[in-house]
Structure 1
Amino acid sequence: MTVNSLHDLYLDQLKDLYSACKQSQPIVTEMGRAAKSKELSEALIAGNQGIERGMETISELCNRHGVDPTGEHCKGMEGIVAEARKHAIDTQFGDDDTRDAAIITQYQRLTHYAIAGYGCVRSFANRLGHDGDGAALQECLDHTRHGDQTMTQIAEGGVNRAAVD
């Protein structure tokens, strides 16, 4: 795809974000299964549900603009997923609490990538006058930020303390 305008960039980035979301789902599921903390596991399940809703929104927006959201491969998320697998799943941990702290770290890295993506496409949509798109993407951004804040609360509320003990 040749990117000749902000509209082209917007569509390209929606497709990239869709790919990023799709790639993140399996590792979030794995981290949810590996988590010792019930609160963390439940938050990861909720996070995956949020990722799914985000993908549905992106798909609807792409369809509205006559493009297929699939076919793009986000290399950035590929690397973040590989790091999450390496540091939260494949690493041998001396205790489960430390693994939970690592899971939170890796989930937040995935989330921060999504926050950046949603923020950019939301700004593009608003600039292009796609107000409905902008509102839908703002909702995705808000949900993603909330998930990030939830992970910080779980970490600071007990997981990190348990990992020290």
Structure 2
Amino acid sequence: MAMNSLKDVYLDQLQDMYSACKQSLDATGKLAKAADDKELVEALNAGVNGISKGMDQLQKLCADHGIDPTGEHCKGMEGLVREAKAHALDAEFGSPDVRDAMIITQYQRMVHYAIAGYGCLAAFANRLDLDGDAAILQEALEQNYEGDRHMTAIATQTVNKQAV
């Protein structure tokens, strides 16, 4: 599809975000299974639920605009998922606490990518006067910020201390 307007960019990025979510959903589930800290496992499982909800919302937005949500493949998230696998799942660790610290690192990288994507999408929707879309995307953005802050709290209050 030719990018001739902000609306074209918006639709392309809705599809790209859907792909990013789909890829991070599987990776986050694997990170949850590999994690040891109970609070971390719960937070990652909440992340899985949040990503799934975000995918549902993106799918609805795509349908509302007459596009297939699977029309793009997000290379950026592909790389982040590959990094998470290599550094948090396939690497060898001396203790579960050290693995948990790495799991948080890799998960937060994926979340930060989602924050950037949802932030851009919300800004585009606002500029295009798509108020309903903007509200949905802003809510997804806030949920990602909340998840990121919770993960930082787990890291700084528990996991990083144990990993020392």
Q: TM-score, normalising length from structure 2?
A: 0.99
Partner AA of 1:46 in structure 2: A
- Match of residue 117 from structure 1: 117
Q: How far does the alpha carbon of each residue in 1:53-103 deviate from its partner, in whole angstroms, 9 at most, with x for none?
A: 111111111111111111310000000000000010000000000000000
Matching residue of 1:69:
69
What does 1:93-108 align with in structure 2 at a 5 Å threshold?
Answer: 93-108=93-108
Residue 80 of structure 1 pairs with residue 80 of structure 2? yes
Following TM superposition, by how much is the alpha carbon of 1:23 offset from its aligned partner in structure 2, in angstroms? 0.4
Counterpart amino acid of residue 103 in structure 1: I
Name the CA distance, whole Å, in 1 between partners of 2:119 and 2:71.
22
- Tell me by how many angstroms 1:26 deviates: 1.1
CA distance in 1, matches of 2:49, 2:2: 33
Letter of the 1:27 counterpart: A
Q: Find the aligned partners of 2:38 and 2:97 in 1 and give their Cα distance.
A: 12
Q: Which runs of 4+ in 1 moved over 3 A?
A: none
Amino acid at match of 1:20: A
For 1:91 and 1:68, the matched residues in 2 are separated by: 36
Alignment match, 1:10: 10
Matched, 1:127 2:122: no
Rounded to whole Å, the distance in 2 between the matches of 1:16 and 1:79 is 14
Give aligned-pair identity as a percent: 60
Per the alignment, residue 162 of structure 1 pairs with 162
> How large is the RMSD of aligned CA atoms in angstroms?
0.5
Aligned to 1:146: 146
Aligned to 2:51: 51
Q: In 2, Cα distance between the equivalents of 1:158 and 1:59?
A: 36
Measure the CA separation in 1 of the matches of 2:25 and 2:103: 14
The letter of the residue matching 1:56 is D
Deviation at 1:27, TM superposition (A): 1.0
Equivalent position of 2:29 in the other structure: 29
Unaligned 5+ runs, structure 1: none
Q: Secondary structure at the match of 1:88?
A: helix
CA distance in 2, matches of 1:25, 1:54: 10
SS in 2 for 1:67: coil
Q: State TM-score, norm by structure 1.
A: 0.98
Aligned length, in residue pairs: 164
